[in-house]
Amino acid sequence: MVIFRFLLGLAVGGASVVVPSYLAEMSPSARRGRLVTQNELMIVTGQFLAYVFNAVIGNVFGDTGHVWRYMLVVATLPAVALWIGVIILPESPRWLASKGRAGDALRILKQIRHENAAELELDEIKARISEQEKVKRVTFKDLGIPWVRRIVFLGMGIGAISQLVGINSIMYYGTQILQNSGFGTKAALIGNVANGLISVIAVIVGMSIMHKVNRRTMFLTGLIGATIALIAIGIATLTLAGSPMLPYVVLSMTVLYLAFFQGAIGPMTWLTLSEIFPARLRGMGMGNAVLFLWICNFLVGMFFPVLLNKIGLSATFFIFAVFGALGIIFIAKYLPETRGLSLEQIEDNFKAS
């Protein structure tokens, strides 16, 4: 089980990098932002559907003792569908052009663009590749430069904050949290569907306003709301222990938490990381930021059950709230506003500060 979960982690990690990159390279420029951000919507939609199927399976086959096996079988179906779909997908024209296969790139572009547009886009791709080859890439040796060090550490901090506020304790262990607060197993599976539903709704709302609201404002609002919800869960678990109201209070607060996270923190994390790194810093900066994000994701997923068992639900969520408070201070102090600025302007602002 552990070995194959490790392999599954490699697959999910690889897909989380490849899918957004592929979407960005295949999309027309006018629709690129919308199509790439829809990836997040599809992720939470998939989680929601998983919660729904688990609730149905758990309530229908919950007495068999092998219910988790049925859940895993159902989970293989979209994996097989994705595998079949990837086989028939065309290669990225930008990747083909970067390997000197301009003819193949043009052939693919003509399949997904009008002919004139395809030729113009290929010329743009080749020009961009030529420009990037001339750009001097920033290396770890350049961390001695104050503005480079500041922007790299900012990206790492954003990646860490997005996970240390405990989002995946709820996404991975939502059923256990509800059971711990007083729900039975079948009721917890049903209640967890609410977490999936609010995640879908929140991402849709976040996508609709993310280009109308300042980045810092949206990020800070999400962190403040999520931190308040975490504190409320901790207090409720302490003061309502044994009360029939406790599981419903915990469920309502996790829904509130997810509304703030999925509607603001989640979208802002990826959008901000995509904006703060100039072209010559993007490789090292984004690499380190995503590395820290996944390390913190791993730590939360690994140690949440341990903390839940050793110190209880209340203290565990208070710890997440502390990280939320630190995140508010960090974002307020170090994240500049990037909305409406070009990458060059953002770079100049970091150099001047």
Question: For residue 84, is pLDDT > 90?
Answer: yes
Q: Which amino acid, one-letter code, is at 219?
A: F
**173 in a structural domain:** yes
State the DSSP code for 28. Answer: -
C-alpha 214/C-alpha 339 separation (Å) is 6
C-alpha 133/C-alpha 61 separation (Å) is 58
**70 in a structural domain:** no
**Cβ atoms < 10 Å from Cβ of 133:** 8
Provide the pLDDT for residue 345: 77
Provide the pLDDT for residue 33: 61
Provide the pLDDT for residue 261: 94
- The per-residue b/e assignment along 84-122, b for 16 or more CB within 10 angstroms, e otherwise, is eeeeeeebbbbbbbbeeeeebbbebbeeebeeeebeebb
**302 in a structural domain:** yes
**328 in a structural domain:** yes
Residues 6+ apart with CB under 8 A from 290: 17, 159, 273
Question: Which structural domain range is residue 220 located in?
Answer: 141-352
Provide the pLDDT for residue 234: 92
Residue with tokens 């602002």: 349
- Identify how many contiguous H helices and E strands the chain contains and give both numbers: 15, 0
**160 in a structural domain:** yes
Mean of pLDDT values over 96-119: 86
State the DSSP code for 261. Answer: I
**50 in a structural domain:** no
Provide the pLDDT for residue 18: 79
DSSP H or E stretch at residue 241: none
Number of domains in the chain: 1
Question: For residue 63, is pLDDT > 70?
Answer: no
**235 in a structural domain:** yes
**125 in a structural domain:** no
Of 75, 174, 77, 9, which Cα lies nearest the Cα of 67?
75
Region of 65 (left: φ > 0; alpha: ψ -120 to 50; beta: rest) is left
C-alpha 101/C-alpha 122 separation (Å) is 11
Q: At 305, which CATH number?
A: 1.20.1250.20
pLDDT digits (tens, 9 = 90+) for 126-149: 887 787 676 666 666 777 778 778
